[in-house]
């Protein structure tokens, strides 16, 4: 099997290894018609690239319907998808999605993770999550074999004092009296719609996604690891805006895609699975890892004390035990691969 051509600038050999590793799950998609919402986001571009490359190599005969509010902007950024005849673009806000197509599988990945500064931004965020999920469930007809909802670890709310990780059975939650909980409460509501849909016969699975690292991630937003990588590559000190004691964990994007396909094709309907790494690392440890792997110029800790409850690490036993999923890429390798991709992208920008 030759290395496939990436349509978004991913490493071809890495893409090939990913396809080889999850070939059995990909074979389940042969001849399918798949709807992908959020197709132009970070997760979406990975899913489209992997699915197209897998179709090229394995001859799956897939037809992909990709939902985006602005597909032309995406195609301008990633011109490799312009000739991907297997992709049919649906230009729509997911809240207003209308389609009469018959879908075998659906991956619902649409949603911004933070609200904008507009006065009604939190309401818009909440409505996009809930109304979008309702529309996607409505799109699942009699032919649908699997609908995967990408939810979030944010649904658990603050970490419990007696737990080092979040379990799918945890009964906590975010503060419903806070506007800042719009995203988390929207995801909780979306999960309820998924459970109700499953009870009515829609084959639905839920992936509660935590924190990730890899190509195409934002390097200038609220993702600490992205900011750290950008600082180190630019020759700046890696700056920590807190005391560095908060706990996180990071899963590389190839492992995320493997997990999502496993849940879509083999997960139990109506069941939620934590998706992420269960290897906890403090923000200070993370910063020093990035500085060491990339060869930066040091770490600066300049922030206020962190809350003892600021922990965001999943327990992934259910994913491991039920679907035999084990991450393949450790944190050092994830940082190294992401940094190499980021350097290559920046070099291309300078040359152009």
Torsion 132-133-138-141 (CA) sign = positive
193 assigned to some structural domain: yes
Higher per-residue pLDDT: 315 or 116: 315
pLDDT score at 271 = 96
State the DSSP H helix or E strand holding residue 339, giving kind and residue range, or none if neither: helix 331-351
Task: Please check the confidence at residue 193 and state whether its pLDDT lies above 70.
Answer: yes
316 assigned to some structural domain: yes
- Given the DSSP bridges, would you call strands 87-91 and 247-248 parallel, antiparallel or unpaired? unpaired
Residue 276 region, left (φ>0) first, then alpha (ψ -120 to 50), else beta? left
Q: Which domain holds residue 152?
A: 12-213+252-276+310-329
Q: Which of 26-40, 64-78, 284-298, 302-316 has the lowest mean pLDDT?
A: 302-316
Question: What is the pLDDT confidence band of residue 116, given thresholds at 50, 70 and 90?
Answer: low
Question: What is the pLDDT confidence band of residue 117, given thresholds at 50, 70 and 90?
Answer: low
Higher per-residue pLDDT: 4 or 108: 108
Q: Tell me phi and psi for residue 331, to 5 degrees.
A: -65, -45
Q: Model confidence over 227-279: pLDDT tens digits?
A: 999 999 999 999 999 999 999 999 999 999 999 999 999 999 999 999 999 99
What's the mean pLDDT in 88-93? 96
23 assigned to some structural domain: yes
Over the chain, what is the mean pLDDT?
Answer: 94
Q: Yes or no: say if 274 and 211 are a contact pair by the CB < 8 Å rule.
A: no
End-to-end CA distance of the chain: give it in Å, rounded: 32
Residue 244 region, left (φ>0) first, then alpha (ψ -120 to 50), else beta? left
Task: Please check the confidence at residue 218 and state whether its pLDDT lies above 60.
Answer: yes
Task: Please check the confidence at residue 348 and state whether its pLDDT lies above 90.
Answer: no
For helices 331-351 and 224-233, give the axis angle rounded to 10 degrees: 60
CATH number at 117 reads: 3.40.50.720
**The token pair that represents 70 in the structure block:** 């602005």
For 271-309, give the secondary structure using H, E and C.
EEEEECCCCCEEHHHHHHHHHHHHCCCCEEEEEECCCCC
Higher per-residue pLDDT: 293 or 83: 293
Torsion 243-303-218-112 (CA) sign = positive
Q: Which of 104-118, 246-260, 313-327 has the lowest mean pLDDT?
A: 104-118
- Cβ atoms within 10 Å of 83's Cβ, excluding its own: 8
Give the CA distances from residue 348 to residues 9, 216, 300, 351, in Å, rounded to whole numbers and listed in that order: 11, 14, 30, 5
In whole angstroms, what is the distance from residue 282 CA to residue 293 CA?
A: 16
Task: Please check the confidence at residue 112 and state whether its pLDDT lies above 80.
Answer: no
68 assigned to some structural domain: yes
pLDDT score at 161 = 84
Q: Model confidence over 7-64: pLDDT tens digits?
A: 999 999 999 999 999 999 999 999 999 999 999 999 999 999 999 999 999 999 999 9
Percent of the chain with pLDDT strictly greater than 70: 97
pLDDT score at 148 = 98
232 assigned to some structural domain: no
In whole angstroms, what is the distance from residue 252 CA to residue 17 CA?
A: 14
Domain count for the chain, please give it. 1
SS3 101: coil
C-alpha R_g of the chain: 20
What's the mean pLDDT in 337-350? 88
Q: Yes or no: say if 7 and 49 are a contact pair by the CB < 8 Å rule.
A: yes
**Closest C-alpha to 325, from 276, 282, 289, 280:** 276
In whole angstroms, what is the distance from residue 181 CA to residue 228 CA?
A: 26
Task: Please check the confidence at residue 83 and state whether its pLDDT lies above 90.
Answer: no
Q: Yes or no: say if 44 and 78 are a contact pair by the CB < 8 Å rule.
A: no
Q: Model confidence over 134-175: pLDDT tens digits?
A: 999 999 989 999 999 999 999 999 998 888 899 999 988 999
340 assigned to some structural domain: no
What's the mean pLDDT in 187-206? 96
**Closest C-alpha to 17, from 348, 297, 337:** 337
339 assigned to some structural domain: no
Q: Yes or no: say if 109 and 264 are a contact pair by the CB < 8 Å rule.
A: no
Q: Name beta bridge partners: 106.
A: 35, 147
Question: What is the pLDDT confidence band of residue 115, given thresholds at 50, 70 and 90?
Answer: low
- Cβ atoms within 10 Å of 283's Cβ, excluding its own: 23
54 assigned to some structural domain: yes
């Amino acid at each position: 099997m030759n290395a496939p051509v990436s349509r978004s600038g991913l490493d071809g050999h890495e893409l090939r290894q990913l396809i080889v590793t999850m070939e059995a799950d990909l074979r389940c998609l042969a001849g399918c018609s798949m709807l992908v919402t959020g197709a132009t986001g970070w997760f979406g571009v990975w899913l489209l690239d992997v699915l197209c490359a897998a179709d090229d190599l394995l001859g799956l005969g897939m037809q992909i319907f990709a939902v985006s509010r602005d597909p032309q902007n995406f195609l301008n950024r990633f011109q490799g998808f312009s000739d991907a005849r297997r992709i049919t673009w649906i230009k729509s806000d997911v809240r207003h999605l209308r389609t009469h197509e018959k879908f075998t599988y659906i991956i619902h990945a649409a949603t911004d993770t933070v609200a904008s500064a507009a006065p009604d931004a939190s309401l818009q965020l909440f409505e996009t999550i809930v109304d979008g999920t309702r529309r996607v469930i409505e799109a699942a007809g009699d032919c649908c074999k699997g609908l995967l909802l990408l939810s979030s670890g944010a649904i658990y709310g603050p970490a419990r004092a007696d737990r080092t990780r979040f379990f799918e059975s945890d009964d906590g939650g975010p503060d419903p009296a806070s506007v800042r909980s719009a995203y988390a409460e929207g995801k909780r509501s979306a999960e309820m719609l998924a459970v109700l849909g499953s009870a009515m016969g829609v084959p639905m699975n839920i992936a509660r996604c935590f924190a990730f690292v890899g190509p195409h991630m934002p390097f200038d937003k609220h993702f600490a690891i992205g900011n750290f990588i950008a600082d180190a590559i630019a020759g700046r000190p890696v700056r920590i805006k807190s005391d560095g004691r908060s706990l996180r964990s990071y899963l590389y994007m190839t492992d995320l895609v493997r997990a999502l396909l496993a849940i879509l094709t083999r997960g139990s309907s109506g069941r939620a699975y934590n998706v992420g790494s269960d290897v906890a690392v403090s923000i200070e440890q993370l910063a020093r890892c990035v500085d060491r792997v990339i060869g930066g110029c040091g770490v600066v800790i300049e922030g206020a004390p962190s809350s003892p409850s600021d922990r965001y690490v999943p327990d992934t036993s259910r994913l491991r035990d039920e679907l035999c999923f084990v991450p393949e890429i450790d944190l050092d390798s994830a940082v190294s691969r992401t940094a190499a991709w980021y350097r290559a992208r920046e070099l291309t920008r300078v040359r152009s």
